[in-house]
Amino acid sequence: MTIAISARGLARHFGKVIAVAGIDLDVPSAQIYGFLGPNGSGKSTTIRMLCGLLVPTRGTVTVLGHSVPRDAEIVRRKLGYMTQRFSLWDDLTVGENLEFMGRVYGLERALRRERIRDRVANYDLAEFAGQRAGTLSGGQRQRLALAAATLHDPELLLLDEPTSAVDPQSRRDFWENLFALVAAGTTILVSTHYMDEAERCHRLAILDRGSIASEGEPKVLARDIDATVIEIECGDLVAARRALATVPAIRSIAQLGNRLRVLMPRGARDPEGELRAALVPHCSEARVERVSASLEDVFVAATRLRPEAATAERAA
């Protein structure tokens, strides 16, 4: 397995603010690698450092075998970048935008025509070809942006929250397109704050306040979660919550419909028994059951339950 991107001790400060606090990263080739994290966790800053838009405060980056930012210009010919915001030109048509990007990437006329025809067909843009980009819907814009970012057949695609303004069906289609690109050998790094998207990635890094809280394949992350996940069903959830407040070991409670999802420390001896004991006086019919962890549990365990996060929360 070859590595497309590797970073060591990568950090970026903006004045006193530490956006990225020194991360190590290895992104394998021809896979989809996800950055999962809340806003402000350093996803965009990291991506911008990887494509040479920002100079790291510390650390080294190698992208496709080239040191960045030193060889950023060489890397730029091989990578496609989709910014968080739609950044093609609203006042140009779909066709004109693609034509322009093709020229900017230096594609010869015949090749440019061929690639544009291919992308327009692949990404369902034919009926909008003459339409101004500013009038497209969110999903159509994303397809156009992806078409533009892949015109030069990049080896690496950097996608910064590509689906944040897109409806669920368009998101599904968008991911189908990404898998098709991966099948053709493209490496994709995508940042997201959607759990379902993170789940689709081959590998995942969970970012939290500028560092990687957890990293690995989504399935493995869920299996190896540093917590025991327990679901509680009970008629009176308000009473149940009050009862659970007396259990200090509980690390997080979230409500899903008429159930409560509780994270307990992984090492606890009999977490179900402990919770049941606490619930019985208030809610005798409560059902307590250990379940397998979802990626959301992993995310919560990785971000909210890290020591410094816990302190911060208590302070708040």
Supply the minimum distance, in Å, between the C-beta of residue 217 and other proteins.
29
Supply the minimum distance, in Å, between the C-beta of residue 305 and other proteins.
33
Residue closer to other proteins by CB (options 76, 276) is 76
175 binds other proteins (CB under 8 A): no
At 225, give phi and psi (nearest 5°). -55, 140
Supply the minimum distance, in Å, between the C-beta of residue 106 and other proteins.
4
Residue closer to other proteins by CB (options 79, 213) is 79
Q: First vs last Cα of the chain: how many Å apart?
A: 44
DSSP label at residue 160: E
**Total site size for other proteins, rule CB under 8 A:** 31
Which residues from 66-125 bind other proteins, rule CB under 8 A? Answer: 69, 72-73, 76-77, 79, 81, 83, 85-92, 96, 100-101, 103-108
Supply the minimum distance, in Å, between the C-beta of residue 87 and other proteins.
4
Supply the minimum distance, in Å, between the C-beta of residue 114 and other proteins.
15
Q: How far apart are CA 178 and CA 119, in angstroms?
A: 13
Residue closer to other proteins by CB (options 106, 281) is 106
Supply the minimum distance, in Å, between the C-beta of residue 161 and other proteins.
13
Could you give the count of Cα atoms lying within 13 Å of 3 in the half-sphere of its Cβ? Answer: 12
**Strands 287-291, 252-256: parallel, antiparallel or unpaired by DSSP?**
unpaired
Positive or negative CA dihedral for 86, 153, 205, 203?
positive
Q: How far apart are CA 283 and CA 240, in angstroms?
A: 7
Q: Which of 258, 190, 218, 267 is nearest to 27 (CA)?
A: 190
Residue closer to other proteins by CB (options 112, 261) is 112
Q: How far apart are CA 147 and CA 96, in angstroms?
A: 12
Residue closer to other proteins by CB (options 55, 245) is 55
Which tokens is 194 given? Answer: 């959607």
Residue closer to other proteins by CB (options 48, 209) is 48
E strand or H helix that includes residue 170:
helix 168-183
Residue closer to other proteins by CB (options 87, 311) is 87
Binding mask 32-61 for other proteins (x = CB under 8 A): ----------------x--xxxxx------
Supply the minimum distance, in Å, between the C-beta of residue 212 and other proteins.
22
Positive or negative CA dihedral for 257, 234, 230, 244?
positive
Which residues here bind other proteins, judged by CB under 8 A?
A: 48, 51-55, 69, 72-73, 76-77, 79, 81, 83, 85-92, 96, 100-101, 103-108
